[in-house]
Amino acid sequence: MKKSLVISNFMLKMWKKEILKILDTKTKLFIAIIVAISILSISIFAGYQITSVSLKSFLNGDTRSIVLLTVSMYLNASILTIVFFIVFKAVTSDQDRLSIQLSWFPINSYEKNLGYFILFSSVILSLVFIIISIIMVPAFITQGVGVAFSLAFLLGLFLQITFVLFLMQLIYNSLNYLVKVCKIPFTKLLTLFLVILLCLTYGLETLSIKGMLKTFTVFDYNITYFLSPVFLGMIGELKYMKVNVLLTLGGYIGTVILSYFSLFLINVRSENRSLKLLHFIPIPRNKLGALTIKEIKSQCRNEENLLNFLLIVMLVLLFNFKFTLNNDLLILIILAGMTGIVALNSFGNDKKMNIAYKLYGIMPSKIVISKFMGLCILAIVQLIFFCLLLLYVPEINNSLQIILITVNSVAVFYLAGIIVPLDKNNPYTGILAFIFLLSCLVPILFIGNYVIGQIGEIMRICIIVASDLLLGIVIILINRWRYNIE
């Protein structure tokens, strides 16, 4: 256990080093604090509007309202936990430099896996706990429910999040082990797909508004709000509910034990695959063309990018099969926003080339322009593939907006990848980059959705073009800064 904590602490220090590189001046620190306070204030206000009505009903004697509020909040916490678990697994590499280096030390695979899981789970736990607390705690304070009530809710929330985390880890490790035993290629891709399929099927088969309403009298032990009776029992609101609290606590303890044992199943070995995609495309003689083609080839051959693309394709097919999706334009817009993920690890994968770029006297602006061109070409190729997959071709005016959204997506993901570079020297930096994206994009999307809904089509296109140009300038400036400090 001690060695595992040392590994987690070491990775945390690596993260701290990356953050200090970003916030290396008082001005940057001040801006980061202002942005954080603004996001927090908006979230608190929105959270209060959502939960205050239910709490008022409970305080006025409607006990059913607190049961439904608890079940719904624990359900949201579970969904967020599952989403973060899957996304973080998708954006992080199973085989990083630290993992290879640790294999030379007297550390067994269980201690290493536990060390990685401690940090991985702590980040997800913190994120979900903070998000739900921001939604609930302001209403607790303003409605005067008391300290004991608030602490009981937060304790139940902590247990629910950790329960889902341990359960997801158990499922992922077990499926990963089975796929490896069957010697099926693309182990991570298939494992993630099976996890998503399992979670989606369980949610569709067990979750319903009618079922949640019935929990007031008969608890159904649904995994997504499995620990809610613990909180309701602490505040004395189980008198109308038929439930065995000891069974929920026993299920929690059993899941924790099995999850820890599942860490013995993990034995990370990189699959020997040498991808030579697009080998037939020649490298141009001029520098700009050569850098652009190099970017296209290297990002195509990157295993993480290939797996993410295949995973998105499989999810589109799965959702289309499960839900019979009809709004092809909306789906294509969402997919256009996801194509930019190919740019997230571009800077990190290319860090080793910085010395060569400096040696040949290639300007940072020329590097970023050529890389951005290559990434946009890859994103648009993906977009064309999605159109073929959906058997849908948008109208010309919609096509222009979708292409602009694609370029915007590439710019946002590439910018995040420059600020927090993803490379195999820093394990789990993908999580750090995703947290940065989440913090910035959520308020921007809310504001953008409101503004775009109030304006005409021409003005909408102008705003998207202006945001692309602004992002381009920011990328060039930040790329120059990162290029100089590396």
Domain boundary among 231, 265, 299: 265
- Using the predicted structure, report yes or no on whether residue 442 has a pLDDT greater than 70: no
Does residue 280 form part of some domain?
A: no
Asked if 162 and 230 count as a contact pair (C-beta separation under 8 A), the reply is no
- Using the predicted structure, report yes or no on whether residue 121 has a pLDDT greater than 80: yes
Most confident of 90-94, 277-281, 469-473: 469-473
Question: Residues 186-207: what's their mean pLDDT?
Answer: 84
pLDDT in tens, 89-113: 877 776 666 666 666 566 777 777 7
- Using the predicted structure, report yes or no on whether residue 471 has a pLDDT greater than 60: yes
Half-sphere exposure in the Cβ direction for 135 (13 Å, CA):
19
| Residue 446 pLDDT | 61
Neighbours of 105 (CB within 10 A): 10
d(CA 158, CA 127): 11
| Residue 271 pLDDT | 52
- Is the domain of 450 the same as that of 346? yes
d(CA 360, CA 312): 38
Tokens representing 337? 């926003």
DSSP secondary structure string, 306-331? Answer: HHHHHHHHHHHHHHHHHH----HHHH
Residues 6+ apart with CB under 8 A from 139: 47, 48, 51, 52, 55
Q: How many domains does the chain have?
A: 2
Does residue 13 form part of some domain?
A: no
- Is the domain of 448 the same as that of 379? yes
- Is the domain of 230 the same as that of 341? no
Does residue 125 form part of some domain?
A: yes
- Is the domain of 244 the same as that of 295? no
Question: Residues 42-70: what's their mean pLDDT?
Answer: 64
- Give strand ranges (E) for 57-171: none
Please give the residue that has the higher pLDDT: either 346 or 426: 346
| Residue 137 pLDDT | 78
| Residue 392 pLDDT | 81
Asked if 404 and 383 count as a contact pair (C-beta separation under 8 A), the reply is no
Does residue 77 form part of some domain?
A: yes
pLDDT in tens, 127-149: 889 888 887 777 777 777 778 88
| Residue 139 pLDDT | 74
- Is the domain of 95 the same as that of 180? yes
| Residue 91 pLDDT | 75
pLDDT in tens, 345-382: 888 777 777 777 777 777 878 888 888 899 999 999 99
| Residue 171 pLDDT | 93
In degrees and rounded to multiples of 5, residue 218 shows phi and psi of: -130, 115
User: What is the domain range of residue 81?
Assistant: 41-265
- Is the domain of 293 the same as that of 260? no
- Is the domain of 192 the same as that of 326? no
- Is the domain of 335 the same as that of 451? yes
d(CA 267, CA 35): 41
